[in-house]
Structure 1
């Protein structure tokens, strides 16, 4: 298809990034979270239908009279959702349930036109429709749903026939927009380095993960902190994910990172913030008149290194308190999705996913 782009805004309420799309005919604006692991795009298609509803959608799909929900007897339903029927809604095709803020809701398969711009639209695109029974206040901030950009046959990326996309995420507290590019417009002219990109769909799961291989971190004065078991032949050990804010690394690495940042002993620890908010390291800088300096991190991947400054590695979580955006991963570190390179460490880098050539290219924003 013709190269195209879409507008991206930071969503600081949930610390992710949202992308502008239009659904239906006539097109209605929706903002969806950019996600590179969920297997299909989904959005709220109608009003909340249970008790405790506090959030209404931008788009009331049922009210349009364009009921394009898919019967569970169709081949498409069988291919995507293993032919699950829901007799509460005329035996429509029901997907695995979506968990929203700890509450599960039904997800139905639908199809309609998805539009990026007046000249770029894709008819008969499939996506999930959720009709929640409960919605906490502003559960997705400006967005209610996700746009799927993973390497899965049912993702939006696959449906529109695109094998490249790229973005340069603005700071989370920025009011400015940025763009996400698709097709040949996603090319990065002078990438600092490229690294192999792997796609992994774990057995028994629908979701698919983009993985790259990180070998180590270099932080003065500690020096090199290796990723456990990583070699140049490792086929991916960290999931690159724009919808997750923090970076999750093996606990033994995080312990050494904390030691590196606390060895100079310039700032006092904000232990209560660490405990209450789940960070691995926080500093109280209220007595420094705003001065805060920590070493840069060199993240060493197969193919090259990326320099991360303190705008990537620390965030002010409350007045006078800076916390590290790297925390310990839970569960088995070899399980895809447990070790994550979050969006805080991606900010202000041009990042291109070339799914066709299985390469991730990175260029710092000049």
Structure 2
């Protein structure tokens, strides 16, 4: 879910596919590994800072995934109030809907009320954190008001504040993270559903959760292993932070992060995509490939490709699948879909990143938007760049090493991690 400053021109517009599958994930018990910590994500049926210290036990938090988004459950304030926000490597700000809300979308759980918390404090206009966002404005009360917009046309406005975030340790004790900067949203609009109470930004900018963690857990690293959305509800996946979150082994491939002026997205370089034995270069009309032409985003479900590359990949998949695609279905739009529950002869797709070939099976490439139908989990954009979405990230242990500026991929069965 890519963020852009509201005052900037939108450089990367993309389409959001509405794929109505029901999946809910929860963080469960975690373990300390070399000073870091890991959390398990357990899914179930659904109806629709600066840290105080390096703890000797591991915090845990619940995370849900619903309608293509992974939701992370935190407790905010004193006494703690549970918050579920979209886990998003494509943005930085941590925010939730707050009382009093002038214009809030409907959510199932109560809004966070800062007046009921003894640890809540607003950020002043003179604070360093107030100037770390591009779109802040000083209020008459000297509060640091913010506006934060996303390429999906979603937006939040409110006041920057500091709070205590509480997680639950593996020993069952409460773990308090003091002084976490977050957005208390009073005007929030866009493509949110009633399970989403905000967004937990995990991008590379200074306001994200991983940046506020800093070296509290030994190192600036995190990794994720997302179970496919159709997995059994009793099976968990795992996310790790700090030391011990390294992705290691014989099958690991790595690609360098590309540093750009916008330090929020995790940009990497995609050289091309293979469909079976057919290789399609990223820049079809040119021999050169721009560095950092795609970024890895857990907040966007489909992988989004420039129009020309998208057309060629879709046409090649169509040619290699021995089934008749669904035509003239208004619910499915222009997606490449088949009326089947399983496609036995699916071509292997390979994402050829710089230095890393990532193989994608039908688990990562075909998504069931409704019973008895499978659709290719790609969409297109008129932009020159793309987004590597969370469908393609499942069943891979993916590590973000922000010290070495590398992203590593290891194919694993995340249902057994």
User: TM bucket by the smaller chain?
Assistant: 0.7 to 0.9
2-side partners of 1:12 and 1:120: how far apart? 23
Matches for 1:227-266 after TM superposition, within 5 Å: 227-228=282-283, 234-264=290-320, 266=322
2-side partners of 1:349 and 1:47: how far apart? 41
Question: What is the Cα-based RMSD across aligned positions, in Å?
Answer: 3.0
SS in 2 for 1:363: strand
Deviations 1:334-353 (A, max 9, x none): 4xxxx000011010100000
Given that 2:120 and 2:162 are in contact with CA atoms closer than 8 Å, whether structure 1 keeps it comes out as no
2-side partners of 1:37 and 1:57: how far apart? 26
- In structure 1, the gaps of 5 or more residues are none
Matches for 1:229-308 after TM superposition, within 5 Å: 234-264=290-320, 266-273=322-329, 276-285=331-340, 292-308=344-360
Asked if residue 96 in structure 1 is aligned to residue 147 in structure 2, the reply is yes
CA separation of 1:219/1:269 partners in 2, compared to 1, >3 Å: closer, same or farther? same
CA separation of 1:213/1:101 partners in 2, compared to 1, >3 Å: closer, same or farther? closer
1-side partners of 2:254 and 2:316: how far apart? 28
Larger mean CA deviation between 73-82 and 145-154 belongs to 73-82
Which residue in the other structure is 2:49 paired with?
Answer: none
2-side partners of 1:51 and 1:290: how far apart? 40
Asked if residue 60 in structure 1 is aligned to residue 113 in structure 2, the reply is yes
Matches for 1:193-232 after TM superposition, within 5 Å: 193-202=253-262, 208-220=264-276, 223-228=278-283
SS in 2 for 1:185: coil
2-side partners of 1:142 and 1:62: how far apart? 23
| Aligned with 1:142 (options 179, 195, 217) | 195
CA separation of 1:216/1:342 partners in 2, compared to 1, >3 Å: closer, same or farther? same
Displacement after TM superposition at 1:290 (Å): 5.1
Asked if residue 132 in structure 1 is aligned to residue 132 in structure 2, the reply is no
Displacement after TM superposition at 1:235 (Å): 2.7
Displacement after TM superposition at 1:319 (Å): 2.5
Which residue in the other structure is 1:113 paired with?
Answer: 164
Given that 1:8 and 1:177 are in contact with CA atoms closer than 8 Å, whether structure 2 keeps it comes out as yes
CA separation of 1:196/1:254 partners in 2, compared to 1, >3 Å: closer, same or farther? same
Deviations 1:289-326 (A, max 9, x none): 85543111122121121111111111111222211001
Deviations 1:67-125 (A, max 9, x none): 412233444323445651234xx442111245698564422100012233346542111
Given that 1:240 and 1:340 are in contact with CA atoms closer than 8 Å, whether structure 2 keeps it comes out as yes
Which residue in the other structure is 1:151 paired with?
Answer: 204
Deviations 1:193-223 (A, max 9, x none): 1111124344xxxx711011111222235x1
Which residue in the other structure is 2:80 paired with?
Answer: 27
Q: Across the two proteins, how many residue pairs are aligned to each other?
A: 348
Deviations 1:244-300 (A, max 9, x none): 100011222222222222224622221234x54445311223xxx855431111221
1-side partners of 2:195 and 2:186: how far apart? 17
SS in 1 for 2:311: helix
| Aligned with 2:393 (options 346, 350, 353) | 346
2-side partners of 1:77 and 1:276: how far apart? 44
Given that 2:104 and 2:187 are in contact with CA atoms closer than 8 Å, whether structure 1 keeps it comes out as no
Which residue in the other structure is 1:43 paired with?
Answer: 96
Given that 1:13 and 1:141 are in contact with CA atoms closer than 8 Å, whether structure 2 keeps it comes out as no
Given that 1:48 and 1:56 are in contact with CA atoms closer than 8 Å, whether structure 2 keeps it comes out as no
CA separation of 1:192/1:58 partners in 2, compared to 1, >3 Å: closer, same or farther? same
1-side partners of 2:187 and 2:273: how far apart? 43
1-side partners of 2:312 and 2:346: how far apart? 15
Given that 2:400 and 2:406 are in contact with CA atoms closer than 8 Å, whether structure 1 keeps it comes out as yes
Given that 2:276 and 2:347 are in contact with CA atoms closer than 8 Å, whether structure 1 keeps it comes out as yes
SS in 1 for 2:160: strand
2-side partners of 1:186 and 1:342: how far apart? 21
1-side partners of 2:387 and 2:109: how far apart? 31
What is the TM-score of this pair, normalised by structure 1? 0.83
What is the TM-score of this pair, normalised by structure 2? 0.74
2-side partners of 1:227 and 1:305: how far apart? 14
SS in 1 for 2:121: coil
Higher helix share: 1
